[in-house]
Amino acid sequence: MTTTTRTPRLSTALLLALGLGAPLIGHADTLRFGGNFTGDHSSSRAMEIFKEQLAERTDGELTAQLFPNMQLGGAGENIDQVSSGAIMGTWIGVSYLSRTVPELEALSLPFAFDSREDAFALIDGEVGELLDEKLAEAGFTALGYMELGFRHVTNDVRPLETIEDFQDLKIRLQPNQTHLDTFRAIGANPVSMDIKEVYGALQQGVLDGQENPYSIISTKRLDEVQQYLSDTGHFYDYIVVVANRDKFESLSESQQQAVQAAMDEAVAWQRRTAAEEDTAAREALIERGMEFTPISDETRAALREASQSVVDDLRDKIGADIVDRVLEELES
């Protein structure tokens, strides 16, 4: 069953950017994708590769127009625009879709991933196929999964050395219930907030901290408003590229194949690049003045133990089958 989502209000400037037509995509040969990542983030650069590959593979029959850096609004707005068909697709942190497809929260088990290789094996296998089916039922076509990466906590109050140091810190998280529940379990005060609001909230002291992969902390320049950096690695996060299912399926079979092949090229490049840039981003943050405190094995074990109730709650919420399947895959 396809989920119906309200059509978002679009500003005059946005309508002009999208081409004014109604419907805005229809059967036109330009596929429009919006994203909230900055233009220099590896995912946005990967989308440029997708754009080049798509034009090449279709001899210009299909082209992509990209709107990175929140040009079309924040993450929630991008999802609404894809759902309504105002744009063809978006590249977005997978957690932003978990309210629409709750099963995606099975990817957010706390402290469950040991490496990016394990993460990709999971999403490229049967678990990924199952989640793609759930996305399709909600009206989306999953085109590929890039790396957002391991998420780490920053704050402007104190270094994080023990589990007690997390107590009562007001930390911004994505709108994902499992993420929020995890931080409550370890004693923090989590706040759900769109990424477009985070810098200002940190600058004004509305928040004590936030959590993101090193690449996002760096490209969003959050080091300008945060002092302390850790390597909590509490979640591994994906970027999913989704298209409006009906719009995608309205393309010819050869066009669909070209879109998928172009995206496969882009995703493969991004995964390699993200891995290379992860350590470099952390070092850049330290060089720019952040104080880095690695989490000890003892503290990590305490954080894992404190958050295990979240896994049990998730079994009740979205079903034990999908949660246990993820755990079995990661432990194999």
**Nearest Cα to 202, choosing from 231, 166, 226?**
226
d(C-alpha 319, C-alpha 50), whole Å: 35
> Residue 199 sits in a domain of what CATH number?
3.40.190.170
CA angle 197, 200, 206 (to 5 degrees): 95
For residue 71, being part of any structural domain is answered with yes
d(C-alpha 78, C-alpha 242), whole Å: 11
Answer yes or no: do 160 and 76 share one domain.
no
**Nearest Cα to 109, choosing from 273, 299, 317?**
317
Answer yes or no: do 213 and 288 share one domain.
yes
Q: Are 79 and 90 in contact (CB under 8 A)?
A: yes
d(C-alpha 157, C-alpha 165), whole Å: 9
Residue 257's CB is within 10 A of a number of other CB atoms, namely 13
Answer yes or no: do 63 and 141 share one domain.
yes
For residue 6, being part of any structural domain is answered with no
Number of domains in the chain: 2
Answer yes or no: do 175 and 191 share one domain.
yes
Answer yes or no: do 246 and 145 share one domain.
yes
The per-residue pLDDT for 196 is: 87
Task: Say how far residue 219 (Cα) sits from the centre of its chain.
Answer: 15
The per-residue pLDDT for 175 is: 83
The per-residue pLDDT for 323 is: 96
Answer yes or no: do 184 and 249 share one domain.
no
Answer yes or no: do 40 and 73 share one domain.
yes
pLDDT in tens, 99-133: 899 999 999 999 999 999 999 999 999 999 999 99
Cis preceding linkage at 102, omega within 30: no
More confident residue, 89 or 174: 89
Answer yes or no: do 82 and 112 share one domain.
yes
Range(s) of the domain holding residue 271: 29-149+238-277
Answer yes or no: do 143 and 156 share one domain.
no
DSSP code per residue over 32-93: EEEESS-TTSHHHHHHHHHHHHHHHHTTTSSEEEEE-TTTT--HHHHHHHHHHTSSSEEEEE
d(C-alpha 215, C-alpha 213), whole Å: 5
pLDDT in tens, 233-279: 999 999 999 999 999 999 999 999 999 999 999 999 999 999 999 99
The per-residue pLDDT for 176 is: 84
Number of H-type helices and E-type strands within the chain = 13, 11
- Chain mean pLDDT for the chain: 91
For residue 272, being part of any structural domain is answered with yes
Answer yes or no: do 70 and 139 share one domain.
yes
- At which residue do the structure tokens 């840039």 appear? 277
The per-residue pLDDT for 55 is: 97
For residue 217, being part of any structural domain is answered with yes
Please check the confidence at residue 67 and state whether its pLDDT lies above 80: yes
Please check the confidence at residue 21 and state whether its pLDDT lies above 90: no
Hey, what are 285's tokens? 């943050």
d(C-alpha 90, C-alpha 86), whole Å: 11
Strand-pairing partners, residue 144, are 241
